[in-house]
Structure 1
Amino acid sequence: MIGCLNPRIKGKRVNPMRFRLSTDLTESILGEIRSGMMVRLVCLTLPYSNYSLRRGLEGVARAGYEYVGVGWPHEGGEVIGFEADGDAVEACLLACQAFGLRPLVLGRGPVGEENPAEMLKRRIDVALALGAESIQMAGVCRYRRFPSELLDEETFLTAHTKYVQEVRSAGEYAKGAGLVLALKPHTGNTATAKHLASLLPEIGVSSIQAFYDPGNVHFYEGISPEEDFPLIVDSTFQIVAKDHRGEQANNEFPIPGEGDVDFLRIFETARQSGFSGPIVVERVNATVGPLTAEEIDELILQARMNLTRLLKESGLT
């Protein structure tokens, strides 16, 4: 791929120096993670989905983060795309540089249903161009409409079989690039640690790892993430610092450390397993209504302060 025409990018030549640099950096970071050298706090731009990507990056930097996750819609549309040498990726890199941020996590993006494995491979190229080390993904949803209407078993199993084949193909490509495809709980075949512990061996590619989300486990499944997490901790590449408050399906996701999730216990479990991957801030909206950009700035700042304290108390940093 490096230094030649990329067959997934029509008629365009990938910048070989960009890919060479990104690949080397990714391999270096992965080596540091495996040797237990660093835990990094990452904030996604997702809380700023009603605002521009640039405003999201500005807010993340203003709140004191050094690492950012990109690849979610802003102002109603996809802003990164699937062209590794495209203008959108270049603009994102320049904006990150301007705000002193390094992108570590990339969202999967709208891969569609026509050829999702090939689209995901293109997204892997985008991740390499950005210098990211993982792509955040979910699995096959178990619901037609959550929480009241389940998919029928045949439809779900058919989708699961197709998903395993597609992710295995993309995972082999990611493995060759030194990139991780991180699967997070979101009902269905990634619903809990038990589901992930079954799914990862079925896919059978080392680049496919878990992205544990205690808030989703509490929200969608109504179970204790503190009891669930140990079942997958040894295969967890990164953790979503998402909190949740209330019963199953209660749509309330407060600042991490201020809801029902015991993050101190989650982080202690991670430390005991030798975990040293990224901790990712994804949601901070305890209320359903829209927030101003300035309110989001304050919430992600408080999230960073809470998590910094909890990580220190747990011994993870």
Structure 2
Amino acid sequence: MIHQLAINSNTYHGFSLEDAVKGASRAGFTQIEMAAVKDHTAHVLPDMSEQELDDIKELLHEYRMKCIGIGAHSNVMREEGIANLLKSIDLASVFNCKYIVTATGDAHDDSDVIEDERILIQNLQPIIEKCERLNKVLVIETHGNNYATGVALKKLVHSLSNRVKINYDTANVIFYGDILPYDDLEASIEFVEFIHLKDKLGNNCEWNFPAIGDGNLDFTRIFHTFTKMNYNGPISVEIEFTPEGPRDLQEVNKSVQRSFQYLARILR
């Protein structure tokens, strides 16, 4: 299962994509989910020039890093969010990856409340149609007030299309959904096709997401569920630290190294 691991470049929020690729590669990662969130972690964006995109391709090639997804969180309850997500699907084609990752509301501190799910479903239709044309999969993250758990998202994606699956974030379900992930993951994993592997410290509502293995989650139990249910999708490691953030790039790199080493041990 170690071959399914990737680094989520949002782990390097505040640092460059080059920092992320170099640090993750040295830690042992060979795959990356590239963050494409304007005004947050904009490591790649759909309005970049062809030369800028080619430079990113060269960077990935130099470090033998494969892109497995574009983290293009967009508020699809707004017209600009729909437009951004539609353009971001093209990035998946540019980097030859299968997955587009989003939530339904704001990328950070999502306080939106969707009162009429029919509007959301309508807004997603052009996105689903484009994913169908380009042979991509939209994975919606467990995130925010509306779809904080896998079970809640399972109902939504089941009503949509085979082009829409769940991106299960193992710590977001605690932070947003106030539940532990174990039973919820097992109840929804048939619709899960992407994982954000994230650890958690502190109270459920506390923003504290340390290196994998440094928090309170039982990852042996989580990986047992993956194995039992034959999960074979990407497992994107994400570290979001505390609201203060990491002290420096060295702290990020050490946390990434520690996460990979911990996972390598439990996945032997």
Aligned in 2, Cα 1:73/1:48: closer, same or farther, shift over 3 Å?
A: farther
Q: Deviations over 1:180-231 (max 9, x none)?
A: 11111112332111211111122x2111101111101112222121121111
After TM superposition, give the deviation of residue 77 of structure 1 in Å: 6.7
Change (3 A) 1:211 1:129: same
Relative to structure 1, the CA distance from residue 44 to residue 134 in structure 2 (aligned partners, 3 Å threshold; closer, same or farther) is same
* Structure-2 change in CA distance of 1:103 and 1:271 (3 Å): same
Assess, with a 3 A threshold, how the Cα gap between structure 1 residues 114 and 163 changes in structure 2: closer, same or farther: same
Indicate whether 1:132 and 2:101 are aligned.
no
Q: Secondary structure at the match of 1:57?
A: helix
Q: Which residue of 2 is the match for residue 308 of structure 1?
A: 264
Instruction: Give the C-alpha shift of residue 111 in structure 1.
Output: 7.0
Paired AA for residue 190 in structure 1: Y
C-alpha separation in 2, matches of 1:225 and 1:123: 29
The question of whether the paired residues in 2 share the 8 Å contact of 1:215 and 1:242 is answered with yes
Aligned mate of 1:259, from 200, 212, 215: 215
| Counterpart Cα distance in 2 of 1:213 and 1:76 | 19
Structure 2: gaps of 5 or more residues: none
Residues 44 and 281 in structure 1, CA contact (< 8 A), matched pair in contact too = yes
Instruction: Indicate which of 114, 119, 137 corresponds to 1:156.
Output: 114
Report the equivalent of 1:222: 178
Paired residues of 1:255 and 1:286 also in contact (CA < 8 A): no
**Structure 1 residue aligned with 2:66:** 102
Partner secondary structure for residue 232 of structure 1: helix
Deviation of 1:71 after TM superposition, in Å, equals: 2.6
Residue 122 (1) aligns with residue 122 (2)? no
Q: 1:77 to 1:43 in 2, by over 3 A?
A: closer
2:144 is the alignment partner of 1:195 = no
Amino acid at match of 2:131: A
1:285 aligned partner, one-letter code: F
Going from structure 1 to structure 2, the CA distance change for 1:156 and 1:287 (only over 3 Å counts) comes to closer
Normalising by structure 2, we get a TM-score of 0.88
Secondary structure of residue in 2 paired with 1:258:
coil
For residues 217 and 246 of structure 1, what CA distance do their matches in structure 2 show? 14
Q: How many residue pairs are counted as aligned between the two chains?
A: 266
* Match of residue 32 from structure 2: 68
Give 1:252 deviation, angstroms.
1.2
Partner amino acid, structure 2, of 1:240: H
What amino acid maps onto 1:309 in structure 2?
A: R
1:186 pairs, out of 131, 138, 143, with: 143
Quickly say closer, same or farther: Cα 1:291–1:299, change in 2 above 3 A. Answer: same
The CA deviation at 1:288 is 3.2
Does residue 272 in structure 1 map to residue 228 in structure 2? yes
SS for the counterpart of 2:33 is: strand
Q: 1:62 to 1:310 in 2, by over 3 A?
A: same
Contact 1:124 1:174 in 2 (8 A): yes
Using a 3 Å threshold, how does the CA distance of structure 1 residues 104 and 126 change in structure 2: closer, same or farther?
A: same
CA contact (8 A) 1:172 1:205 kept: no
Per the normalisation by structure 1, the TM-score is 0.75
- Aligned mates of 2:132, 2:2 — CA distance in 1: 21
Over the matched positions of the two proteins, sequence identity in percent amounts to 23
Q: Deviation string for 1:107-135 (max 9, x for gaps)?
A: 11557833543432221111111112211
Q: Write the mapping of 1:159-174 to structure 2, written as runs, cut at 5 A.
A: 160-174=117-131
> What is the distance in 2 between the residues matched to 1:269 and 1:240?
15
